[in-house]
């Protein structure tokens, strides 16, 4: 936190800002959290009277205030990945100051917003400079949050169960990844009783590796099974094994270390995308079929389907190759996304309705749909992975501020 505070202090001096804050994205994806260092009036760890009234949480001398996304400038800045400059309103404090919101983003991963209050409207050159500084702030946050729990504490508005804590550690630290050839985003909406879902990806020089898995059962047992499965897949991937070899090794590991619950198996999709050709190899271990959105038409992919990982030792696995075209979108999901009566038509309609959105917004929109369909009471984790193929593989992206401007979602409304 101190590093971010030093950046804020320097920004105030350089740009003449009267106030500078860092708003980090909430773990729910539906709010921002303003982090600040506020010395306590009482003893360390105590809360000042009235803290809860304005949504503020305190931990020692650190403050976290939740700001719900409501379609206003904050959400527009995140959604469009553009700097928002809000003129002062005579009815809204602080009066006489312009509010500026700059996305803090790295490779399409929306970390939050840099908020500044300026005494007068900034020139276009100043806005560009602040946007560049906000991009640099993303790297400051990424580097420093490895050494502290403060950012994690700020993002959490609910306490995690033991199984949820295990599950969250399995997910990649960045939920979104942009490259010249593709855009990828994943989201997990946890049920009250954790169902053992995971998603994962890794970007190599000429390949993108990805997976989405669903461990059977609930609670800690499912989280531990998911942990073993993902460790097997990652270990195989990092050893240079093929998709089939990764699946075989992971299956053998799960069979060798049964947990004795009768539900020690995992369904999933494991994939490898060749970035130079667009050839996507997919291995289906007893999982829900992926969707392909191409030229406005939505279909499920017909893949070879093998048994789930961890069921039997002598299972033979195979993969199916799909040749992607520029503009294709692949959607992988777990059965928690289908926890509704009209599952097929509802998810198909939701995918089609979100076709113009950036994958970052797509996965959250689909998760929101699952929550709405179940009245907020998911019986199983709802997890989704969205992959857009752009068809160009260059050495680097042509971006200035951490996100591809041409891929961002349009403004709300």
Domain containing 87 — which CATH number?
3.30.450.40
Please identify, among 127, 155, 183, the residue that sits at the C-terminal boundary of a domain: 155
Q: Are residues 16 and 61 in the same domain?
A: yes
Identify whether residues 292 and 351 lie together within a single domain.
yes
DSSP-assigned letter for residue 343? H
Q: Say if 412 falls within a structural domain.
A: no
Residue 101 falls within a domain, yes or no? yes
In a shared domain, residues 58 and 198: no
**183 and 133 part of one domain:** no
Q: Is the distance from CB of 409 to CB of 362 less than 8 angstroms?
A: no
pLDDT at 41: 46
Residues 167 and 145 in one domain: no
User: 189 and 59 share a domain?
Assistant: no
16 and 44: one domain? yes
What confidence category does residue 397 fall into, taking pLDDT thresholds of 50, 70 and 90?
A: low
* pLDDT exceeds cutoff 70 at 231: yes
Boundary residue ending a domain (96, 124, 155): 155
Taking alpha carbons only, the member of 46, 37, 261 closest to residue 150 is: 37
- pLDDT tens track for 14-39: 888 898 989 999 998 899 999 876 65
Q: Encode pLDDT of 257-299 as tens digits.
A: 887 777 789 999 999 999 999 999 999 999 999 999 999 999 9
11 Cβ partners below 8 Å, 6+ apart?
Answer: 17, 20, 114, 116, 130, 133
Give the pLDDT confidence score for residue 340 in this predicted structure. 56
pLDDT at residue 50, rounded to an integer: 39
- pTM (two decimals): 0.91
Q: Please give the residue range of the domain that contains residue 240.
A: 162-407
The better pLDDT of the pair 44, 257 is held by 257
CA distances from 164 to 31, 57, 109, 159, 168 (A): 20, 21, 22, 9, 6
413 lies in some domain: no
Q: In this structure, what CATH number is given to the domain that contains residue 258?
A: 3.60.40.10
The 10s digit of each residue's pLDDT in 316-358 is 999 999 999 999 999 999 988 876 555 567 899 999 999 999 9
Distance CA 46, CA 87 (A): 37
One domain, residues 8 and 135: yes
Band (pLDDT 50/70/90 cuts) for residue 42 is: very low
Q: Are residues 130 and 200 in the same domain?
A: no
Residue 130 three-state SS: helix
Of 30-44, 178-192, 393-407, the least confident:
30-44
Evaluate if residue 78 carries a pLDDT over 80. yes
Number of domains in the chain: 2
pLDDT at 43: 39
Nearest to 193 by CA among 213, 220, 215: 220
Of 103, 122, 155, which marks where a domain is finished? Answer: 155
Distance separating alpha carbons of residues 98 and 89, to the nearest angstrom:
9
- Asked whether residue 30 falls in the same domain as residue 74, the answer is yes
């Amino acid at each position: 936190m101190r590093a971010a505070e030093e950046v804020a202090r320097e920004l105030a001096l350089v740009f003449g800002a009267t106030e500078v804050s860092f708003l980090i994205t909430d773990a729910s994806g539906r709010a921002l959290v303003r982090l600040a260092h506020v010395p306590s009036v009482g003893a360390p760890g105590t809360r000042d009277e009235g803290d809860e009234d304005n949504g503020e949480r305190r931990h020692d001398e650190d403050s976290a205030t939740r700001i719900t996304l409501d379609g206003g400038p904050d959400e527009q800045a995140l959604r469009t990945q553009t700097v928002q400059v809000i003129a002062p309103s005579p009815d809204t404090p602080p009066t006489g100051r312009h509010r500026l919101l700059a996305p803090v983003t790295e490779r399409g991963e929306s970390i939050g917003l840099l908020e500044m209050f300026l005494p007068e409207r900034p020139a276009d050159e100043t806005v560009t400079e602040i946007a560049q500084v906000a991009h640099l702030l993303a790297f400051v946050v990424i580097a420093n949050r490895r050494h502290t729990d403060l950012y994690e504490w700020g993002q959490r508005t609910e306490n995690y169960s033991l199984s949820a804590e295990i599950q969250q550690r399995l997910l990649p630290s960045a939920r979104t990844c942009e490259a010249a050839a593709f855009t990828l985003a994943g989201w997990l909406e946890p049920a009250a009783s954790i169902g053992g879902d995971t998603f994962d990806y890794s970007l190599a020089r000429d390949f993108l590796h990805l997976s989405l898995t669903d461990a059977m059962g609930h609670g800690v047992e499912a989280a531990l099974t998911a942990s073993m499965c993902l460790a097997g897949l990652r270990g195989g991937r990092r050893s240079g094994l093929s998709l089939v070899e990764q699946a075989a090794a992971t299956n053998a590991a799960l069979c060798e270390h049964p947990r004795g619950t009768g539900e020690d198996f995992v369904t999933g999709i494991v994939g490898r995308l060749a970035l130079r050709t667009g050839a996507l190899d997919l291995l289906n271990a007893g999982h829900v079929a992926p969707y392909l959105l191409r030229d406005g038409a939505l279909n499920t992919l017909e893949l070879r389907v093998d048994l789930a990982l961890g069921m039997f030792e002598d299972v033979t696995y195979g993969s199916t190759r799909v040749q992607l075209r520029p503009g294709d979108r692949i959607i992988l999901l777990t059965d928690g996304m289908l926890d509704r009566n009209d599952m097929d038509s509802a998810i198909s309609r939701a995918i089609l309705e979100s076709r113009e959105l950036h994958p970052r917004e797509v996965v959250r929109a689909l998760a929101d749909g699952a929550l709405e369909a179940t009245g907020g009471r998911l019986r199983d984790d709802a997890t989704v992975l969205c992959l857009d193929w752009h068809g160009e593989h260059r050495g680097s992206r042509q971006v200035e501020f951490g996100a591809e401007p041409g891929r961002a979602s349009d403004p709300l409304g």
